[in-house]
Structure formats: C-alpha cells, structure tokens
Amino acid sequence: MKKVISLVLVLTMLISMLIGCTSKDMETRELDSTKDAEEMDLVEENNSEEEGNSKIAEMEEILMDQLEPMPELDGGEKIGVLIISLTNPFWSNMKDKYEKAGEELGIEVEVLSAPTEGDTTSQLETLDGMIVKDYDAIIFSPIDGNNLIPGLLRANQANVPVINLGPGVNQDALKEQGGHVDGIITVDFENQGKMVAEDMLKQMPDGGKVAIIQGIPGAGQSEGRTKGAKEVFENTEGVEIVSIQPGNWDRNTAYNIATDLIQAHPDLKGIFACNDVMALAAVEALETADKKDGIIVYGVDFTEEAQVAIKEGRLDGSITYSPSVYTKAALLLSLKIVQGEEVEGPVYSPLAVVNKENINDFDGWK
C-alpha cells in the first residue's frame, strides 16, 4: 500500500512539473508574441514617419530651389510676422512653425495676429504698430484682399519691406494707390479647390449633388478654393452644385449650413468646406443627424484635428503643404529681400491631398 501511495505522489509531482513547464512555455510564447506585435507596430510607425519625412523633404527641395541662391544667415535680422488669428488652429500652428524656423535659421521672429478671423480693423491696427518697430521686414497674411492696404502704403513710405504670405493682397488696388509688396510666397488656392474636388469625385463614381461652404467672402484663399472646386464640379457630368454659402471660417456657422443642407437636399452626396474647421463642423452636423454615411466631406489645411478625424474614418480628406517648410521659406525669402537680392515672381509651395487611403503616409507631418 505504501508503495502505491509513493508511486502516486511521484506521478503527481511529475505531472505538476510538466504543467508548470507548459504554463511557463505558454507565457513565454505569449510574451514573445506580444513583443513581436509591438515591434511590428513600431516598424510600421517608423515607416509611416519616414514616408511623411520624405514628402516633407520633397516639398522643401521644391521650395528651396525657387529661393536659390540662399541668403546669408546669422546677420542679426529681426522679422515681424502678422498672421490672421490664433483662434484658428491652422494659424496657431503657423505661429509655432515660424518661431521654430526662426530658431533654426538664427533669426529673431515675433508673431502677432488679429484677435478674431474677421477683425479686419484690429489686424490693420496691429500692422501699423509693427511698422514703427525695428523690424528689418514684415511678413503678412491679410484677412481679406483690401484691409491691410493702408498699412502697406505706410510700410512702403517707411522703407520697411513687406512680404505677402498665403492669402493675397489686392495687387491692383495697392498699385493704384502707389503701393507695392516686396515679395510673395503662397500656394495656388484655385488649384487646391481643383485637387480636392477631383479627389472627392473619385469617391463619388455615380456623381450626385454637392455643396461648397466658403470662408469669408472676398478672402483670397476662399475665393480661389471655391473657384477651383466649382469649375471641376460644373464640368463633370452627373454632378450638380446645389449650394455655395459663406461659412466665414466659423465652426458654428458651418454646422448650421450643413444641418440646413441635409434637410433641403436629403440626397446630398458631397460637401467641400474651404477649411478643416468648417469641414469638421459639417461632419459633426451630419453625425448628429445620422446622415454621415454616403456623404463625402473634404476640408483644407490638414490640421491635427483633421488628421485624427481622417484616421477615424469621420472626415474623408483634406489638402496640405508643410507648414514647417512654408514658414522657413518665407523667412529665407525675407532675408533675401532685406539683403538686397532679386526675387522674381511669387514663390509657390507644392500641395498634397490626404485621404483615407494615404493618411498613414503623413504620420509625423509638420
């Protein structure tokens, strides 16, 4: 009997040891599997960032080629920058990029803005205050084509070089009053609208009704984007533009426009908003009404919020250029002008459409 009991005890111990070893092996395998998955995710993330960095490098090369020969650095220049408003995430990001580019290039940069996107008077007053400071040059982005003309005339009289970035000043009106800008760096806003509309239509093979939500009427970027998209939509068989309304770059206004649109046109197939703030508001309105499925929504600027929304499948697309490269090029252009170098014609930034298919290629975009 004792022998039997001993044999049972020995067998029990052996089975326990085998089970313990098997459990440890399983735990090890699970840990190795988790580690492998994490390593794969890291590789994919690094590949995406490398792709994004490659695109940035390509844009930088195109812009820098237009600026050759490069200006001299470390000359102690001080550049003032007047943007539109920090209430818009695009311009808030541009402020950060200007300051970082200034640090990289050894330029003292001060960025100022209007309190809101529609405050044309305050933006002009801010420009007037900048003219009497000791800036070697001023980079400006007007709220509309005309609001800064009086200040630009005063800058001309004070011999302060002025460089127009992005939204354009009304050149004809400025010249009629004897004024000028010393340099222009911008994007082709009309082409932005065309590229977005063309990409939208790839996701609308059967066509349908579309709407455009503009920015502030008269603003160069709003007018150009609208014109470009309108031309594509009008020249595409089976596509009908049912509404073009100003959203004034405002989230609430765009939300209300989108809400009204789906009530008036329940068979609406697409919305192009002239910036991401309004595009995301339109998405929110469609989601609230449970109407997002089947309606394509695109914006412009590829803000961080838009990037997240595209990854989540809520926003369908946007169009972008690298703010870090754009601001760096603007500062280099300013230095060239301050140092007396000739700059012929506008400097244009290249563009890239971002959608659900290529969104991961833009990880690390800046």
pLDDT at position 50 is: 59
CATH 3.40.50.2300 occupies which residues in the chain? 67-187+322-351, 189-320
In the predicted model, what is the mean pLDDT of residues 329-356? 94
On the question of pLDDT at 110 being above 80, the answer is: yes
pLDDT at position 343 is: 83
In tens, the pLDDT along 113-139 reads: 999 988 999 999 999 999 999 999 999
Confidence band for 232, pLDDT divided at 50, 70 and 90: very high
In tens, the pLDDT along 190-213 reads: 999 999 999 999 999 999 999 999
On the question of pLDDT at 277 being above 50, the answer is: yes
| Global confidence as pTM | 0.80
Residue among 130, 66, 109, 70 nearest 339 (CA): 70
In the predicted model, what is the mean pLDDT of residues 217-242? 96
On the question of pLDDT at 12 being above 70, the answer is: no
Confidence band for 334, pLDDT divided at 50, 70 and 90: very high
On the question of pLDDT at 229 being above 90, the answer is: yes
In tens, the pLDDT along 62-102 reads: 999 999 999 999 889 999 999 999 999 999 999 999 999 99
Average pLDDT of the chain is 88
Query: Please, what's the b/e burial string for 35-53 (b: 16 or more CB within 10 A of its CB; e: otherwise)?
Result: eeeeeeeeeeeeebbebbe
Query: What are the φ/ψ torsions at residue 291 (nearest 5 degrees)?
Result: -125, 10
On the question of pLDDT at 141 being above 70, the answer is: yes
Query: 183-186 and 78-85: which strand pairing?
Result: unpaired
Q: What does the alpha-carbon distance between residue 59 and residue 350 come to, in Å, rounded to a whole number?
A: 6
Question: How far does Cα 167 stand from its chain's mean position?
Answer: 15
pLDDT at position 55 is: 83
Confidence band for 143, pLDDT divided at 50, 70 and 90: very high
Confidence band for 24, pLDDT divided at 50, 70 and 90: very low
Confidence band for 22, pLDDT divided at 50, 70 and 90: very low
- Which of the following CATH numbers is that of domain 189-320: 3.10.20.600, 3.40.50.800, 3.40.50.2300, 1.10.10.10? 3.40.50.2300
Question: How far does Cα 204 stand from its chain's mean position?
Answer: 24
Where helices occur in 68-182 by DSSP H, the ranges are 89-105, 120-131, 149-157, 171-176
Query: What are the φ/ψ torsions at residue 362 (nearest 5 degrees)?
Result: -110, 15
Tokens at 40, concatenated? 């794969």
On the question of pLDDT at 26 being above 60, the answer is: no
Which residues pair with residue 137 across a beta bridge?
A: 79
pLDDT at position 27 is: 43
pLDDT at position 49 is: 52
Superfamily of structural domain 67-187+322-351: Response regulator (3.40.50.2300)
Is 27 or 157 the better-scoring residue by pLDDT? Answer: 157
In the predicted model, what is the mean pLDDT of residues 150-177? 97
Q: What does the alpha-carbon distance between residue 105 and residue 270 come to, in Å, rounded to a whole number?
A: 43
Overall size of the chain counted in residues: 366
In tens, the pLDDT along 38-50 reads: 444 444 444 445 5
Is 258 or 219 the better-scoring residue by pLDDT? Answer: 258
Specify whether the CB–CB gap between 317 and 353 falls below 8 A: yes
Confidence band for 51, pLDDT divided at 50, 70 and 90: low
In tens, the pLDDT along 279-317 reads: 999 999 999 999 999 999 999 999 999 999 999 999 999
- Which residue is it, tokens 């563009």? 351
On the question of pLDDT at 34 being above 60, the answer is: no
Specify whether the CB–CB gap between 149 and 124 falls below 8 A: no
Q: What does the alpha-carbon distance between residue 94 and residue 85 come to, in Å, rounded to a whole number?
A: 10
